[in-house]
Amino acid sequence: MNSNKKTLPDKNGFFGDYGGKFVPETLMYALEELESTYKKLKDNPEFKNQFYKDLSEFVGRPSPLYFAERLTKHYGTGSIWLKREDLNHTGAHKINNTIGQILLAKHMGKKRIIAETGAGQHGVATATVAARLGLECHIYMGSEDVQRQSLNVYRIKLLGAQVHAVDSGSATLKDALNEALRDWVTNVDDTYYIIGSVTGPHPYPMIVRDFNSVVGEELINQSKELFNSMPNAIVACVGGGSNAMGAFYPFINIKETRLIGVEAGGEGVETGEHAAPLNDGTPGVLHGALSYLMQDDTGQVKGTKSVSAGLDYPGVGPEHSWLKDSGRAEYVAVSDNAALKAFHEVSEFEGIIPALETAHAFAYLDTLMKEFDKKANIIVNVSGRGDKDINTVAEIDGIKF
């Protein structure tokens, strides 16, 4: 699989200066238990077979790498290829990780599953895998997100899970995570917490990355097959950073491939009204890990702003902070407006309605494609489909159903 000589995280869960395990004492044992279970299973052939079998038969992997002909023509420079995570069962990359984590939960004999969700995709993916195993499932979601992602809320309920709207703080993803952690502290003995991104305390950033790395592994083979070289760049949106990390990780030692993460620029990074900690944050501790964080001048976590619920988060996975500081990956931000424009363009050019999160990655092509010539191959990680965002976009466009 990966040939990194020095694999990160280190034994304390750090990627360089970032990561760690900053949680209340009650959770320490649960994290140790999770880590030792994962270490025992991750190279176990039976476990791996089950994981890949589920990904193939239930999720429909591998997802295609698809040539975006009209988008390529539109820019007139390099070839644009789309990694179609939107075609996965449940409509986003989030399912890859939940398929893996539910196997861990089952192995650990946990009876109750909890998760946080922003856009609702991770909530849907978690409710889906819990339903398959007949496990009780609770999804925490900020009350603002319950509103703007109402379609996914209903999907989660249809799948037999309970949705808990969280009113505290900013009533978005960060607060849903707080509430999920509180549930876990309370019900730690029988409960498995399926975190939805490469965030949280060690070992979550590692586990979520590893499960989602199936995306990057497929990309290596598909690139060889389709254009007989490694891509010049991979572009992915970054909320917590799981779709980006899954695509980037197998490429870390493939130096000819630029790795580009696109954060939510909200009203514009210069306005301070955004969700782009790697572009405009400083290191701090939130939700169990040290990483770039949006904080004010008294060490409090700042409110965020993004049209996309899945990117509306003041922190970011610690491995991205490490990749930023080490220079291996580049992180940029695009505004709400740029993302909305890309949302429409990609829909019309390619017949693919992307998630608003994904639209951020597409929006950066406006800048990026100028840096390449016709020989280049650029991959956009299409993290999810946009059905869930129809109401939000219609409202912005002034359309009432």
Partner 1 sequence: MNRLTKTLSDLKDNNKKALVAYLVAGDPDISSTIQLMNLFVESGVDVIEIGVPFTDPIAEGPIIQKAHDRALKNNISLESIFSMVSEFRKHNNETPIVLMGYLNTFIFYKKLIEENKNNAIDSILVVDIPGELNLKDYGIHSPNINTISLISPTTQINRIESIAKNSTGFVYYVTLRGVTGASNLDVNEISNNVEEIKKHASVPTLAGFGIKSVEDAKLLSDCSDGIIIGSSIVQMIEESSKSKEFDRIGNYLTEIKKAIL
Ligand X SMILES: Cc1ncc(COP(=O)(O)O)c(C=O)c1O
Per-residue interface string for the shown chain with ligand X, residues 295-334, x marking contact by CB under 6 A: ---------------xx-----------------------
Contact between 260 and ligand X by CB under 6 A: the answer reads: no
For ligand X, the closer of residues 71 and 316 by Cβ is 316
Show the tokens assigned to 249.
């990780």
For position 163 contacting ligand X by CB under 6 A, the verdict is: no
Note the residues at the interface with partner 1 (CB under 8 A): 21-30, 32, 168-169, 174-175, 178, 181-182, 185-189, 284-288, 293, 295, 298-301
Q: Which two tokens stand for residue 134?
A: 């007949």
> Shortest approach of ligand X to residue 122 CB, angstroms?
6
254 binds, among partner 1, ligand X, none (CB under 5 to 8 A by kind): none
Instruction: Return the structure tokens found at 130.
Output: 């819990």
Nearer to ligand X, 199 or 295 (CB): 199
Number of chain residues interacting with ligand X (CB under 6 A): 21
By a kind-dependent CB cut-off of 5 to 8 A, residue 353 interacts, out of partner 1, ligand X, none, with none
CB 116 within 8 A of CB 122: yes
* Partner residues linked to 14 by β-bridges: 19
**Nearer to ligand X by C-beta: 80 or 238?**
238
Show contacts with ligand X in window 230-259 (CB under 6 A). Answer: 237-244
Phi, psi of 135 (to 5 degrees): -100, 145
Neighbours of 347 (CB within 10 A): 15
Q: List the catalytic residues.
A: 94, 116, 383
> Residue 76: CB partners within 8 Å, gap ≥ 6?
none
Q: Check residue 163 and give left, alpha or beta (phi > 0: left; psi -120 to 50: alpha).
A: beta
Chain centroid to CA 36: 24
Residue 283, beta-bridge partner list: 292
By the rule CB under 6 A, 358 interacts with ligand X: yes
Residue 213 interface partner, choices ligand X, partner 1, none, CB cut-off 5-8 Å depending on type: none
Contacts of 279 (CB under 8 A, 6+ apart): 263, 265, 269, 331, 332, 333
Instruction: Tell which one of 145, 210, 357, 389 touches ligand X (CB under 6 A).
Output: 357
Any idea what DSSP says for residue 269? G
Tell the smallest beta-carbon distance from residue 320 to ligand X (Å): 9
Closest to partner 1 by CB, 3 or 298: 298
Query: In 3-state terms, what secondary structure has residue 66?
Result: strand
Tell me which residues touch ligand X (CB under 6 A): 92, 118-119, 121-122, 197, 237-244, 310-311, 355, 357-358, 383-384
